[in-house]
Amino acid sequence: MNQANHSQEDARGVPVSSCQPESLDDYETALLQFHSYFGDPTETLAQTLENDPEFVMGHIFVASALLMMTERQYLPTIKQHIETAEALASKANARERQLTLAARQWMEGAWDLAGLTWDQVLMDHPRDAMALQLGHLTDFYRGDCFNLRDRVCRVMTGWDKTVPGYSYILGMQAFGFEECNQYDKAELVAMTALEMQRRDPWAIHALAHVYEMQGRFDEGQSMYHEREEDWAPDNGFAFHNWWHLALYHIEHEDFDAALELYDEQILPEDSDVSLQMLDASALLWRLHLQGIDVASRWHRIADLWTRKTDCENGYYAFNDLHAVIALVGSGNPEAANAVLAAVEAAARDNPGVTRMMAQDVGIATCRAIIDFGQQRYAEVIQQLLPIRTLAHRFGGSHAQRDILTQTLIESALRCDQHGLATNLISERRLHKPFTPLTQRFASRLAS
């Protein structure tokens, strides 16, 4: 097959260095998979790279997509692809060299610098949909809500409905608006995205967050059920959307329905995907806080984390917290303390911002969960109260980090710190006025 020697463009007019025409087609397929979570872009491009081993964008894409898994286990593969892209630098164009640099920065723990480098790419190439999504996900993992919104807003002048993939950009923007508490805008933009492309689980997810934050749980349930074929079957992000649906059930105090979703959809079989396992752990913890016996489920999820902890401990504090949750839930404080020790080491030794995440948020949250497991509720409060409003620094969404507030309220109730419980419930009412769960906490306080 003849190698094309001239510069080419992707479907959005973004320059791509020389590659086989079929590789560029595969890149478009991979990008659609990345946007929609239907299919695996790394698998698609692995085949492409066998046929076209000097396809620079292929190497960059695989490395970057794997970085977004937030797992140490992928670093050897990531490193290989980054080094190959670096070795091909003389064939690459300026954009590809910057994308390679961003991937290296992320790999070395400088997630913040990677975010800036992707932004520099977007200044010259606002239609670089891959760079935009990588930056968007990094903003999420860093809890940078302003950039979740503004990084997308900054490139909007380069986009309109005639540009392929525009709806997915709107889906990202909708989530950014939601995390900045601009719920009306988020809903409008998500709806516009979904009118253009029904099968956009990220836009659906942005809408789910709006319903969650505004206490519109019935609407959220209806939306998920009516659109199920658009986000659920064979989708790599479905577990998280199922998780949101389970949260609605918890709000309705329908704990059996939440557990049913856990068993059948959120963790139907063993997984080694941290993003999925952390949702599973968080759901069980929320039920645990409400006094629900989740039985052997703790042991299974703890076992799944245990299989990974040797490799993953201390890599990303947000994941570590959820490993600790599962281990405490299963009644294994020794293993939970081992994860905590790794987080403490990460706070000393990790590179880049991952050290800050461990130091500023990871240690306190892990200690709090371990204390909760030992019924040391006053200590839980001592750990969580000072850092709760800084907790966005280790990433996640408002909805995910609500687990910290719920743990704090429950601890205040259990150790009779009524003033704190009253104030936290009052604050929660301000942000989420219509939640039955808040009312449940309030009733317990009253009794």
Nearer to Fe ion among residue 208 and residue 381 (C-beta): 208
Q: Three-state SS across 67-135? A: HCCCCHHHHHHHHHHHHHHHHCCCCCCHHHHHHHHHHHHHHCCCHHHHHHHHHHHHHHCCCCHHHHHHH
Query: For Fe ion, which residue has the nearest CB?
Result: 397
The piece of 58-66, 86-94, 280-288, 391-399 that touches Fe ion (CB under 5 A) is: 391-399
Residue 204: CB minimum distance to Fe ion, A: 11
To Fe ion, the closest distance from the beta carbon of 108 in angstroms equals 28
CA 435 to chain centre: 24
CB of 290 to Fe ion, least distance (A): 20
Report the residue number, 117 or 397, with the smaller CB distance to Fe ion: 397
- Dist CA 11 CA 32 (whole Å): 11
Nearest to Fe ion of 332, 397 (CB atom): 397
When the beta carbons of 147 and 397 are compared against Fe ion, the nearer one is 397
Which is nearer to Fe ion, 36 or 397 (by Cβ)?
397
How far is Cα 23 from Cα 28, in angstroms, rounded to an integer? 9
- Of 176, 183, 203, nearest in space to 434 by CA: 183
Please count the residues of this chain forming the interface with Fe ion, following the rule CB under 5 A. Answer: 1
Would you give the binding string for Fe ion spanning residues 349-388, x where CB under 5 A is met? ----------------------------------------
Shortest CB 292 distance to Fe ion, Å = 22
Buried b / exposed e across 403-412, counting CB within 10 Å, b at 16+?
bbbbbbbbbb
Among candidate residues 98, 153, 70, 113, the one with its CA nearest the CA of residue 352 = 113
Complex with Fe ion: residue 98 or 397, whichever CB lies closer: 397
In angstroms, give the least distance from the CB of 180 to Fe ion.
15
Minimal distance, residue 144 CB to Fe ion, in Å? 16
- Cβ closer to Fe ion: 383 or 397? 397
Q: List Cβ neighbours of 83 (8 Å cut-off, separation of 6 or more).
A: none
Closer to Fe ion by Cβ: residue 100 or 397 = 397
Round to whole Å and give the CA distance between 107 and 350: 12
Judge contact between 178 and 186, C-beta under 8 A: yes
Considering only the stretches 14-22, 96-104, 117-125, 395-403, report the one whose residues sit in contact with Fe ion under the rule CB under 5 A.
Answer: 395-403
Binding mask 396-415 for Fe ion (x = CB under 5 A): -x------------------
Give bridge partners of residue 8 from the DSSP assignment.
16
Nearest distance from residue 399's CB to Fe ion, in Å? 5
Minimum CB–partner distance for residue 360 and Fe ion (Å)? 22
Handedness of CA 210, 215, 216, 221 (dihedral sign): positive
Sole window of 183-191, 390-398, 406-414, 429-437 interacting with Fe ion (rule: CB under 5 A): 390-398
Q: Are 215 and 231 in contact (CB under 8 A)?
A: no
Name the segment binding Fe ion (CB under 5 A); options: 111-119, 177-185, 371-379, 393-401: 393-401
Q: Which residues pair with 9 in a beta bridge?
A: 15
In angstroms, the CA 395 to CA 320 distance is 12
Q: Which of 112-120, 247-255, 291-299, 392-400 is the region at the interface with Fe ion (rule: CB under 5 A)? A: 392-400
Q: Which stretch binds Fe ion (CB under 5 A): 267-275, 293-301, 353-361, 394-402?
A: 394-402
Distance CA 268, CA 290 (A): 23
Phi, psi of 352 (to 5 degrees): 60, -150
Q: Are 19 and 4 in contact (CB under 8 A)?
A: yes
Give the nearer residue to Fe ion in terms of CB position, either 20 or 397. Answer: 397
CB of 206 to Fe ion, least distance (A): 9
- For the chain, how far is it from start to end, CA to CA, in angstroms? 77
Which residues form the interface with Fe ion (CB under 5 A)?
397
